[in-house]
Structure 1
């Protein structure tokens, strides 16, 4: 059984962000893993085709209705809605050009800087792909790249002041999103019940 951590402060790039609890971050990761384990690609395909105007037989139409209520599909949709809402909140804070694909990089950079190869390892993203993300964030003013004094062939990634502000404001946005979810779902008890139900579905996975 997967257990959430107790609420504690989180450190990003060496700075403590007290507005977000470890339980909140765990919840995001938990929902993501739940969706990946439960989602059925066939359901997603049939729902997409329906939106595009495909006409099905009565049997397939019944399957489509079942797909719309599938837990995995609902989790994926909820995750998408949450991601989009988070980006909206960050856009309102002046970070409209940061995309979801950039977020793992912020949490992989140490206070004193980190090599690109280490960022790739921590994010489980290929060296080439993470390099592209880093260069995009550098162009946006969130990161700097400097030669590693111990190995001039390597480069050190550091957060700029704007990058640190993004982390702080991201924590605020995540807390605001959490509050919105709690209100929409009917309170903390309802959210706890949802979390407990997902834990039972996943079991020891």
Structure 2
């Protein structure tokens, strides 16, 4: 049998696994703070929704998802009271997705959870390593996007 470690230990897989572990930790902190009911897929909405609101089509584009998939996530978050849709005053056919008051509170808790997870990472890997990782990933992202 051939060595297949390359499938588990390539940089893409390691980045993906690390991102999933990081997001799981963030969601755990949110649940402990009383903000449960949302999963890792809902983070795609949170990451891409502007504080003032964003069109559904733009949310989908930013998340590299279909409009239908993003629409389903938004519907789920609406049902839980985190989001609402308002008519777009510039285009009667479009809707703007916005955080509700509950969603804004969740967003603040999300920010705290992110900071806490980043602090945990710095405690495990060292603050200098995390800073270098952040700067390297930002540089790489800028180079490939």
Q: TM-score normalised by the shorter chain: which range applies?
A: 0.7 to 0.9
1:119 corresponds in structure 2 to 59
1:108 aligns with 2:49: yes
What residue in structure 2 maps to residue 87 of structure 1? 27
Match of 1:183 in 2: 123
Give the greater-gyration-radius structure (CA): 1
Match of 1:162 in 2: 102
User: Relative CO higher for 1 or 2, CA cutoff 8 Å, sep ≥ 6?
Assistant: 1
Whether the 8 Å CA contact 1:108–1:122 is kept in 2: the answer is no
Q: Distance in 2 between matches of 1:196 and 1:129?
A: 31
Summarize the alignment of residues 186-197 of structure 1 with structure 2, pairs less than 5 Å apart: 187-194=126-133
**Alignment coverage as a number of residue pairs:** 143
The answer to whether the 8 Å contact 2:49/2:98 transfers is: no
Pairing of 1:1-205 with structure 2 (within 5 A): 57=1, 60=2, 63-65=3-5, 68-106=8-46, 107-111=48-52, 113-148=53-88, 152-185=92-125, 187-194=126-133, 204-205=143-144
Q: Determine the structure 2 residue equivalent to 1:48.
A: none
Alignment gaps of 5+ in structure 1? 1-56
Q: TM-score, normalised by structure 2?
A: 0.76
Greater percentage in helix:
2
> Is there any run of 5+ residues in structure 2 with no aligned partner, and where?
none
C-alpha displacement of 1:110: 4.1
Q: Is the 8 A contact 2:88 2:95 kept in 1?
A: yes
TM-score (norm 1): 0.57
Q: CA deviation at 1:136?
A: 0.6
Does the CA-based 8 Å contact 2:54-2:96 persist in structure 1?
Answer: yes
Distance apart, 1:194 and its partner CA? 4.5
